[in-house]
Amino acid sequence: MRRKNGNRRQAGWVWLVLSVLLAAGCSARYHSMATEGKGMEKFAEERYAHALRFMEEGRFELAREQFAIVERTAITPELKGMAQAGQDKAAAIIEAKR
């Protein structure tokens, strides 16, 4: 009888340790995903600035490529919309020059 209680106690500790490790892993993953999202948004904003600079320089193909990258990597709908508008504008200018 005593042996069964020992196994139950041991199983309880194993369960407790696994639960704590799982909870710690989940919160670390959430933090990682949150910081990754912020990094992607910053990257998209930098690409958007490059695209605007390319538009000012008359380098419309490069601008269109940068706007496409922004549209795929941006998280906020506002930045995605601005990137789509910029991409459409660059495409229209490219088409008009042909």
Q: With 60 as the cut, is the pLDDT of residue 56 above it?
A: yes
CA distance 27 to 13: 21
Q: What is the 3-state secondary structure (H, E, C) of 6-50?
A: HHHHHHHHHHHHHHHHHHHHHHHHHHHHHHHHHHHHHHHHHHHHH
CA distance 16 to 36: 30
Q: With 50 as the cut, is the pLDDT of residue 90 above it?
A: yes
Share of the chain above pLDDT 90, in %: 56
What is the residue whose two structure tokens read 């912020």?
38
Question: Please, which pLDDT band fits residue 70 given cuts at 50, 70 and 90?
Answer: very high
Domains and CATH numbers, the chain: 2-97 (1.20.58)
Residue 97 or 9, more confident? 97
Report residue 84 CA to chain centroid gap: 18
Q: What is the model's pTM?
A: 0.62
Could you give the angle at the alpha carbon of 29 between the alpha carbons of 23 and 32, nearest 5°?
145
pLDDT of residue 78: 94
